[in-house]
Structure formats: C-alpha cells, structure tokens
A = this chain, B = another copy of it.
Amino acid sequence: MSGEKHQRYRALNRVCRQEDRQCAFFSLPDPQYREPVPRHATESRMKNHTEIKVRGYHLDLYGHVNNARYLEFIEEARWALFEEHLGNLAAKGYSFFVVNININYKSPATLGDTIEIDSRITRFGGKSCTLKQTMTKKGAGTPVVEADVTFVIAGPEGKALPVEGDIRDMLEPFAA
C-alpha cells in the first residue's frame, strides 16, 4: 500500500481498534487495493458480541436467571449494538420500539456463568425488522436463550419509518 493509503488505513484502524467493540464502519474506498488489508476489510458486516456475567441478583427462586431478566440482557446487547455503530439514536431523533419478542428458553444460566450474546438482523421488512439475539454460555457454547426481536424505527412524531434509504443504510451492517 502506498504511504498515503497506508496512513489512511492506519487512521481508520485506529478508530476501529480503540476498543474491541468499537469498530468504525468503513467501506474499502480503493478497489485497486491488493495488499494485506486491515482486520475488518473482509468483514463487511459488523457483529455484536456482548458478555454478561450472571450475578446473584439476576436469579430467582429456582436459582436460574429469571425469564424477565433475560429481556434486560438482550436489551443491554441492543444498546451496545446501536450505540457502538450509530451514535446516540435518541439524539438523532430516532426511537427504537420493540413490537414483538419471541423468546425460547433453552437451558438455564446460573451463578458463575458468563453469557455471550450475538445479535444480527435476519429480516428486513417494509416497516419492521427482526433481530435474532442468541445467548450461549461462554466456553461450552451451550444455548441458553434464542430471541427474535421485531422492531421498528420511529421518527420524532413516533410513527414507524419505512425501512429504506437512511434507515436501511443504518441497519444494513447488522444483517446476518
């Protein structure tokens, strides 16, 4: 890579690597680029990976994470997903409204487990999209919970916006 392009990529990578989860979305501007490329050149999709350690206050009478608490976990993962890549949604005038959650409880998570949450958009509809959020136990990879979260992006007036143009561009990186 020429010195100038290399500089540019270094700058982009620096932003990209600042924190593992903070990954600036950039497209490869130069189709002639043939040299070994920064980590994310081949990954045009961003993935979100959130880890949560199960604590005593997450549990209920059965010694398992309570089924309502899992919804806070996947909400935490959604905030991390959108925050890292989209800035503050609210500040831009958008609201993220959940219209349906279909959640399967596969096996219980208990004290001492670290839960990994992966979130990807599996469906782009006319006005709504579906985000599949999968929780597994770190290490063993045991499935804990799988949730399909159907949401809309609403504008300042509170109405669901069509998933096209800017909205589509905003969500595209999170596609499966």
Closest to A154 in B: B62
What are 8 of the A-B contact pairs (CB < 8 Å)? A55-B75, A56-B61, A57-B72, A61-B63, A61-B111, A68-B72, A101-B102, A102-B103
Contact of A100 among B62, B79, B90, B102 (CB under 8 A): B102
User: Is A66 in the interface zone, CB < 8 Å from B?
Assistant: yes
Question: Are A55 and B76 CB-contacts (below 8 A) given A100-B105, A111-B90?
Answer: yes
Contact of A66 among B57, B80, B88, B104 (CB under 8 A): B57
Residues of A within 8 A of B (CB): 53, 55-57, 59-63, 66-69, 71-72, 75-76, 79-80, 88, 90, 95, 97-105, 111-112
Q: Is the interface of A mostly helix, strand, loop or mixed?
A: mixed
This chain: copies in complex: 4
Residues of the B chain whose Cβ atoms lie less than 8 Å from the Cβ of A103: 100-103
Residues of the B chain whose Cβ atoms lie less than 8 Å from the Cβ of A76: 55, 57
| A67 lies within 8 A of B71 (CB) | yes
Contact of A98 among B61, B67, B75, B90 (CB under 8 A): B67
| B75 lies within 8 A of A61 (CB) | no
Question: Are A67 and B111 CB-contacts (below 8 A) given A55-B75, A61-B59?
Answer: no
